[in-house]
Structure 1
């Protein structure tokens, strides 16, 4: 009887070696601290033994907590990043072994693992503390089990494999729910094969169901964590069946919205198909290859060359080993806060990075993080208020319209919350919930780095004093524009660079809109102009809108007719920076109007120069 396609000796060992090579490449590019996205929240949930956002990811949470406790080196975030890289490498090994068993081709297996592991998205998400690499591992495992099931020659062997597969299907659903798209393909196929072979019975089906349910056991972690309520950060209340179901079905996000990240997993299917395609091409010459070691070597080299080219192409994008950008962003923000401040969080950045730094690394334990979005959920304050000492909540749920809901829940708005906590300075990062504008009754937003301070309206804004107070906040040292535009590093960098201009813009906007005397308005414009000028001339690379803001400030100063400022210099700077802006911001809908204004300003500049020459 002939040998099976994937039965060559040493294949499993080679799969392990390939996985080790992928792990080494990933480990060399790991971020040393917290990445962007959901990483900060997932790490914090694991560290605190809380519950992550829907559907809770209990398997990832428990694995991450185990690794955090076992590994004695690196930051807490680095340990979880390392775990994810190892899971991603294991997925590569499984994909290689799957293709090899199907085709008997080493090159096909290498191609599959290379296409998958070193594609940009896979690499990017395999070195971050995210759930995707564990999901990739399950995809590879289910593919391999499907191949082994197809190869099985006895009913007993098929029975054992199908039970293991049922357990793995359940366990995989304890991570990311996109795996459902694979389970719904594999399970009917396996059942049909068993039915066709007359091996499927009611008792057998019951055993498979029990194996599947056994795989779901990690979900018991959710109500256990919710009941203990020891985590300083958690999501949802799973102590009731309805609460558990709400979380499990992602109702707060939109049930079954699974396709959002499916491409990262469908990459595995593409890789397998590519590997099988190469295997089919070389299978024609299998007999020649068996008699010619040189051609075997060339086959290996061709596949290895593809893997190497993928590494070379993606390394510069995925190498995060020297980047602390999201970490720096969070530390900069926390360090800028006065003692005992309240930080009203909004959005993934800065929310998740601040959660990690505050709860896991112990940065600024005196400040208090309050989630704006979470306060709108009924479960948040009953679960979390005890973990927010020193904060008063004038109700049990945030709602723009105060009152008592039909279920008896007392609501409060932002204005009331600020009023009962007036003894502590409050900051909005980034922005405030658009649905609640009640704070405008008694408060104003003044720029404070990448955040805004909520200041009682009776306090008069003093530009000089405020600039002096906040100047130390803008100590960002990263070069503008050096990060991949699609990365969280770029988002953090952009936020910090824009923050540098916020105070100047605030003063300028005050001069434009405030009802003040002409003398005060002139002082405000002068402050704004001086700030813009200092910022623009001290940074060669900066956000493109800085050119536009500075040009407008120069134009306003020109209309003030200040004796100590040369009109020709102001006109020249206005024209120069408007043109620089239009060159770099071609998609601005006002571009044509700006260029038309530049023509008038240019004529005015030429006329001024002629007058000077007379």
Structure 2
């Protein structure tokens, strides 16, 4: 019969404990070293799938419009949109030097390797958290593969974006802080360094700061979870700021890069005010909790409806079961992970962008741990603590996810964004001024020009960004014949270029249509001045 020990170590000897309740201490059951083979196998399997479905170029699918801008930033060591993503940019720059494929696909490999590494670490982490529980390897494999083939996670592993690397930092910090590591006090300092470095990739990593203070971890043993406290003391905490600051030093890249005036440059990080504008994301501050309560409720309803899909609810049930087990027998770990997950979910829920759901990816990493705990709970309940071969049948769930999601996720034949950009530049006359609007069209044009080297004679102006002084200064430095004195109204810029450059527009608005005579040329519209042929 399965014996339960639903107690924290600090509860041992508390009133109400029965004499026969077994509590397995760390010294009585030394932790086994997690096997690397399952982690490597699952990681490599995921990587193969990601490579087979990898986008060959930039993409507009899976909310990937930023892929074009980010690819250029990596190629030229530029400064992408706020908050600047210095960690991602430097790592992606290394991938641009791979001797294969197109620029964007080389950079997308960073996402593929990051996601595969995340999955491998999750498999390792499950084994490290519950080293003595029967069935822990099967639970680890199930958790890793289910995470790997979830649609959102998979979609961010096959294009140029920052989110797969974000999950890697989440997984690394969890692996360094959640399992017990007697004799390895330096792990938390390494975690602090990676935490600072990870903030240079995505600022929402800040929600995982409580993990740096975690002082114990739960362990399944003999069918029981035991939360063993590990005292670290005040002195250990005082050693964290130094590695944290060392990781945050990656942000020094931004003023250094801005001082070089690369072709892709957002803001002016060479000044204190410009640096703060960039790293604090002031441009998007209005989007943070920018939804009304009814809009947030509608979004929550939409997201919850996804959980009702046939291949989602089995994993959800396992995660709920595992979380219940943790809540009843390892309360501190449950509170820690749920608290972090709630912070991530609340911010994502209120963030007024169409792609806010990708902010939930770190939550999926935590859910994978809950799911593994749920599998181990089933083993304890149904097999009297002895894992049978049937447990591996649960791995049919990620196989079903792989089969079901492949067609919806696969980007291996997607060249729409690239073809649009090349066609638009081909339609523009020599030395044209091309007014682009929106991330999809403008970023794709930037990629074709500065990433692929097409049509350097065309001056590309993003209409919304023209409102900013720093953007106008940057463009005038690149194309001196443009007039910064035209002011922030892009229509005045068009007027100032009359007779100087042929003028084309990707997406004219109503004001432009009333003010100028426009005629379609391929995918563009050309401004036709009175008297022009």
Same fold, judged at TM 0.5 (above): yes
In 2, Cα distance between equivalents of 1:429 and 1:190: 56
Residue 605 of structure 1 is matched in structure 2 by none
Which residue of 395, 399, 415 corresponds with 2:492? 415
In 2, Cα distance between equivalents of 1:423 and 1:152: 68
Helix, strand or coil for the counterpart of 1:253? helix
1:392/1:421 contact within 8 Å kept: no
Helix, strand or coil for the counterpart of 1:252? helix
Residue 58 of structure 1 is matched in structure 2 by 86
Residue 325 of structure 1 is matched in structure 2 by 416
User: Relative to structure 1, is the Cα distance of residues 275 and 248 closer, same or farther in structure 2, using a 3 angstrom cutoff?
Assistant: same
CA displacement, residues 92-150 of structure 1 (integer Å, 9 cap, x when unaligned): 011111122223411211221122111111111110010000001011111112223xx
Residue 583 of structure 1 is matched in structure 2 by none
User: Larger relative contact order (C-alpha < 8 A, sep ≥ 6)?
Assistant: 2
Residue 487 of structure 2 is matched in structure 1 by 398
TM-score normalised by length of structure 2: 0.74
2:38/2:137 contact within 8 Å kept: no
Residue 123 of structure 2 is matched in structure 1 by 96
Residue 14 of structure 2 is matched in structure 1 by none
Q: Note if 1:283 corresponds to 2:380.
A: yes
Q: Note if 1:381 corresponds to 2:413.
A: no
Count of aligned residue pairs for this structure pair: 423
Residue 271 of structure 1 is matched in structure 2 by 368
Unaligned runs of 5+ in 1: 401-412, 461-614
User: Relative to structure 1, is the Cα distance of residues 207 and 314 closer, same or farther in structure 2, using a 3 angstrom cutoff?
Assistant: same
Which residue of 100, 117, 120 corresponds with 1:73? 100
User: Relative to structure 1, is the Cα distance of residues 421 and 279 closer, same or farther in structure 2, using a 3 angstrom cutoff?
Assistant: farther
Residue 17 of structure 1 is matched in structure 2 by 41
Aligned ranges 1:230-269 → 2 under 5 Å: 231-254=262-285, 257=288, 259=348, 260=356, 261-269=358-366
Which residue of 107, 111, 116 corresponds with 2:147? 116
In 2, Cα distance between equivalents of 1:191 and 1:347: 48
1:414/1:439 contact within 8 Å kept: no
User: Relative to structure 1, is the Cα distance of residues 285 and 147 closer, same or farther in structure 2, using a 3 angstrom cutoff?
Assistant: farther
Q: Note if 1:170 corresponds to 2:261.
A: no
Residue 429 of structure 2 is matched in structure 1 by 338
Unaligned runs of 5+ in 2: 1-26, 219-228, 289-346, 349-355
Residue 181 of structure 1 is matched in structure 2 by 207
Q: After TM superposition, give the deviation of residue 420 of structure 1 in Å.
A: 3.5
Aligned ranges 1:41-52 → 2 under 5 Å: 41-52=69-80
Q: After TM superposition, give the deviation of residue 380 of structure 1 in Å.
A: 1.3
1:23/1:89 contact within 8 Å kept: yes
Q: After TM superposition, give the deviation of residue 359 of structure 1 in Å.
A: 0.5
Residue 308 of structure 2 is matched in structure 1 by none
In 2, Cα distance between equivalents of 1:320 and 1:16: 25
Q: After TM superposition, give the deviation of residue 256 of structure 1 in Å.
A: 8.5
Helix, strand or coil for the counterpart of 2:156? helix
Q: After TM superposition, give the deviation of residue 399 of structure 1 in Å.
A: 2.5
Helix, strand or coil for the counterpart of 2:59? coil
Helix, strand or coil for the counterpart of 1:354? helix
User: Relative to structure 1, is the Cα distance of residues 301 and 430 closer, same or farther in structure 2, using a 3 angstrom cutoff?
Assistant: same
In 1, Cα distance between equivalents of 2:247 and 2:103: 28
User: Relative to structure 1, is the Cα distance of residues 416 and 250 closer, same or farther in structure 2, using a 3 angstrom cutoff?
Assistant: closer
Q: Note if 1:200 corresponds to 2:261.
A: no
Helix, strand or coil for the counterpart of 2:72? helix
Q: Note if 1:299 corresponds to 2:326.
A: no
Helix, strand or coil for the counterpart of 2:200? coil
1:330/1:350 contact within 8 Å kept: yes
Q: After TM superposition, give the deviation of residue 217 of structure 1 in Å.
A: 1.5
Q: After TM superposition, give the deviation of residue 289 of structure 1 in Å.
A: 3.5
In proportion to residue count, which structure has more helix?
1
In 2, Cα distance between equivalents of 1:331 and 1:415: 27
Q: After TM superposition, give the deviation of residue 384 of structure 1 in Å.
A: 3.2
Helix, strand or coil for the counterpart of 1:452? strand
CA displacement, residues 54-88 of structure 1 (integer Å, 9 cap, x when unaligned): 1101111011111112x101011110111210110
CA displacement, residues 430-469 of structure 1 (integer Å, 9 cap, x when unaligned): 234x7xx48855x222233333222225569xxxxxxxxx
In 1, Cα distance between equivalents of 2:173 and 2:500: 57
1:237/1:383 contact within 8 Å kept: no
Query: RMSD across aligned C-alpha pairs, in angstroms?
Result: 2.6
User: Relative to structure 1, is the Cα distance of residues 147 and 365 closer, same or farther in structure 2, using a 3 angstrom cutoff?
Assistant: same
2:427/2:524 contact within 8 Å kept: no
Residue 503 of structure 1 is matched in structure 2 by none
Aligned ranges 1:523-542 → 2 under 5 Å: none
Residue 451 of structure 1 is matched in structure 2 by 524
Which residue of 503, 508, 531 corresponds with 1:431? 508
User: Relative to structure 1, is the Cα distance of residues 420 and 325 closer, same or farther in structure 2, using a 3 angstrom cutoff?
Assistant: closer
